[in-house]
Amino acid sequence: MKLPDDFITKYQRLLGAEAPAFLAALTEPANTAGYRVNPERQVPAKLTSAPTVPYAPWGYFGTVKGRSLVHQSGTVYSQEPSAMFVGATAAPARGERVLDLCAAPGGKTTHLASYLQGTGLLVTNEINRKRVRVLAENVERFGVANALILNDSPDTLSPVFPDFFDKVLVDAPCSGEGMFRKDPGAMDYWSLDYVDECAARQREILTEAVKMVKPGGQLIYSTCTFAPEEDEQMMAWLVKTFPDFQLVPVEKTGGVIDAKPEWADGNPDLKNAARLFPNRLQGEGHFVAKLQRATTAEGVQPHGQAHLGTALTGEQRRLWADFSRTVLGDAAPTGDLVTIKDQLFAVPANLPALKHAHVFRPGLHLGTFKKNRFEPAYALALASDPQRVTQTLAIDQDQWIAWVHGEALSLTTAPAKGWYLLTCDHQPVGFGKVVGQTVKNFFPKGLRFTVYPDDLD
């Protein structure tokens, strides 16, 4: 792999004696695959026997096959190990209100969700319409029940959520230098001018992001680039421009080092931020900073109610109540119930007015009302705890292979007719309807796939 000449010259100047090791690491093949396990699942021991990522709860080095049971059921999420450091730095507490502003494809959102454990509020946003669909699929697969998914620009969201969030994560679009060896195509559009363009865009994003952090709250900023213009210099600009924000220490371990004040204005507080270099750890390049907003800052809380969807009719309430009581029991999700056309959602409570926001998904999709019946959603299945659901039906691996391919299942001994949460190896895989000796298949047609022998562990 041939690195751009301007890139080599720049980092030889910045890194000095460390430059040869740094540049050599970037020309080596990427071998830093990783995954996180879902703490809301019964995780198989084989997944937790791999080497752990030292700075990331639930993180492991290794690969997981995309057509495997643990992937389909949301038991794991494949994520580059250095990227896990971002969520671990944010580490929201249970009950907090959290915004992931630039969220696709969803790795950091699902990591934040693991900390929240179904409590509080997780607003996850992506400006790109195609990428927000991928984000929504990953949020659904990971079984996240407390997420509001938006498709907006930061300047649209800041008036909606003024001084609102305990934590705001900005994983900023950047020049991608840290991903060169993992994605060599990133070098095709890299240039010194492109770094400056990215920095200008980051300042625009951060100008809006700071408005959404409540007094006493935190802003977490990250990039996957080495460029000081997008890292230390960006943080130096931020604390000068917004003096009620101060850099606070990021815990560093496993080869993570201090950021470099000398690459910016010399502000010693810049050492509080973190750099991840591929020649120092088993991971790609990242920069992460945490900033605290002063508690003395004056906040203006948003007002109004979300007004998402419409209230349920009496018939719809009856159908949902019957399904919830019979199938879910005390595992029924919490939240405000609303319908959008014939779709039922559980919307997180205490949202501000959202009429100026583009809501891609208002909450957990519970299902669809059809004539005289209710049909549960795939998202509800993956957000359900099999240990708490009243009606579950265990299937074996061969049946799971048939299920994700879209086939009905034949049973030798069938339970009473009705809806069941299907499980395989204790993982939720979808809802099926038992009729006689058959389980009707409701696995989403757009997600069906064929499992080949090489896909099995």
Please name the residue that has the structure tokens 């990783």: 34
Contact (Cβ atoms closer than 8 angstroms) between residue 41 and residue 427: yes
Mean predicted lDDT score pLDDT of the chain: 95
Eight-state DSSP code of residue 159:
T
Residue 108 labelled as part of a binding site: yes
pLDDT value at residue 457: 67
Question: In degrees, to the nearest 5, what angle opens at C-alpha 301 toward C-alphas 300 and 304?
Answer: 130
Residue 306 reports pLDDT greater than 90: no
Residue 336 labelled as part of a binding site: no
Residue pLDDT, tens place only, 189-202: 999 999 999 999 99
What is the domain partition of the chain in residue ranges?
5-293, 305-386, 391-457
Residue 298 reports pLDDT greater than 80: no
Fold for domain 391-457? 2.30.130
Q: What are the φ and ψ backbone dihedral angles of 20, each rounded to 5 degrees?
A: -60, -45
For the domain spanning 5-293, the CATH number is 3.40.50.150
Residue 268 labelled as part of a binding site: no
Confidence at 309, pLDDT banded by 50, 70, 90 = confident
For the domain spanning 305-386, the CATH number is 3.10.450
Residue 367 labelled as part of a binding site: no
pLDDT value at residue 427: 96
pLDDT value at residue 453: 85
More confident residue, 165 or 304: 165
Residue 106 labelled as part of a binding site: yes
Contact (Cβ atoms closer than 8 angstroms) between residue 414 and residue 437: yes
Strand bridging mode 121-125 / 97-100 = parallel
Residue from 42, 46, 71 nearest 449 by CA: 71
Give the residue-averaged pLDDT of 370-388: 96
Residue 414 labelled as part of a binding site: no
Measured CA to CA, the distance from residue 157 to residue 209 in angstroms comes to 9
Measured CA to CA, the distance from residue 48 to residue 59 in angstroms comes to 9
Contact (Cβ atoms closer than 8 angstroms) between residue 390 and residue 329: yes
Residue 42 reports pLDDT greater than 80: yes
Q: Is 424 tagged catalytic?
A: no
